[in-house]
Amino acid sequence: MVTKRIIPCLDIKDGRVVKGVNFLNLQDVSNPVKLADYYSRSGADELVFYDITASFEGRKLFTDILTAVASTIFIPLTVGGGINSVADFERVLACGADKVSVNSGAIKNPELIGQAAKRYGDQCVVLSVDAKRVDGKYHVFLNGGRVDTGLDALEWIRQGVDRGAGEVVVNSIDTDGVKQGFDIEMLRDVSEIVHVPVIASGGAGGVQDFVELFQKIPEMSAGLAASIFHFGEVAIPDLKQVLRENGVCVRL
């Protein structure tokens, strides 16, 4: 059976990996190429590479870093941040990305999802959604949780998948950086409405949080985290061993 994927996320700013607590308190962590290589060797199933400031400051990804990462590691690589057009897809795919994640660019122009899916295939288009509870509903947020779009997150995800997104990353702003576990409730609600792979993001604080994620939501395809991996709090081989002992199918 297809294994549950463990995905370290490298948030990039000015060529360095950073990870904020609730997005707002950025802290410098490490060299992206070295970190990517380390993860690839230690059993990461995939890497996500976000330019977290791109949608806020309009910055382009540092494509030389992307090229260096894609030349060093031979596992799937998803790139996001500042993807606003088919030309942006082309730019990062040419540097070795396998999948491209769209967030604010798709909210501004939902047609982008369909255009990119038609050109590169559904499997290439990842819809990334930052969601937060507002008055009993999930709202889509922008710019690292600063701006409430007012969009209903479940409705937006359903629409994105209909338009051709082949995978969805759900990042709960309510649990992100808090390290108290994934947002099981939100993730379950999303997994019930779509039939493409869903990646859980936001809130992993330790090994048990991944066990809980895959046991409570067996259809969840992957778990994504950043700081717990970057700071060595959780080693991926140990995490996978525990998952296997708990009956979760993983690649060791």
Buried b (16+ CB within 10 A) or exposed e, 118-143: eebebebbbbbbbbbeeeeebbbbbb
Would you count residue 113 as binding another protein (CB under 8 A)? no
Which residues neighbour 61 within 8 Å (Cβ) at sequence distance 6 or greater?
A: 12, 49, 51, 54, 79, 81, 82, 91, 92
Of 22, 63, 85, 93, the residue at the interface with another protein (CB under 8 A) is 93
Would you count residue 94 as binding another protein (CB under 8 A)? yes
Q: Which stretch binds another protein (CB under 8 A): 21-29, 71-79, 127-135, 240-248?
A: 71-79
Is 11 a known active-site residue?
Answer: yes
Helix (H) or strand (E) run with residue 68 in it: helix 63-72
Contact (Cβ atoms closer than 8 angstroms) between residue 130 and residue 154: no
- How far is 77 from 75, CA to CA, in rounded Å? 6
Would you count residue 221 as binding another protein (CB under 8 A)? yes
Could you tell me the smallest distance in angstroms from the CB atom of residue 101 to another protein?
14
The SS3 assignment for 204 reads coil
Backbone angles phi, psi at 237, to 5 degrees: -60, -40
Long-range contacts of 172-175 (CB under 8 A, 24+ apart): 172/131, 172/132, 172/201, 172/202, 172/203, 173/22, 173/23, 173/130, 173/131, 173/132, 173/141, 173/145, 173/202, 174/132, 174/133, 174/202, 175/202, 175/203
Could you tell me the smallest distance in angstroms from the CB atom of residue 197 to another protein?
5
Closest CB to another protein among residues 130, 167: 167
Closest CB to another protein among residues 65, 151: 65
Would you count residue 34 as binding another protein (CB under 8 A)? no
The C-alpha angle with vertex 10 and arms to 6 and 12, in degrees rounded to 5, equals 165
Of 96, 110, 114, 206, the residue at the interface with another protein (CB under 8 A) is 96
Of 18, 97, 151, 234, the residue at the interface with another protein (CB under 8 A) is 97
Could you tell me the smallest distance in angstroms from the CB atom of residue 250 to another protein?
9
Would you count residue 175 as binding another protein (CB under 8 A)? no
Would you count residue 88 as binding another protein (CB under 8 A)? no
> Considering 51, 130, 174, 176, which one is annotated as catalytic?
130
Of 12, 18, 40, 211, the residue at the interface with another protein (CB under 8 A) is 40
Residues 198-217 close enough to bind another protein by CB under 8 A: 198
Could you tell me the smallest distance in angstroms from the CB atom of residue 200 to another protein?
13
User: How many residues line the site for another protein (CB under 8 A)?
Assistant: 33
Residues of the shown chain interacting with another protein in the complex, contacts defined by CB under 8 A: 1-5, 40, 45, 70-71, 74-76, 93-98, 120-124, 166-167, 195-198, 219, 221-222, 251
Task: Give the active site residues.
Answer: 11, 130
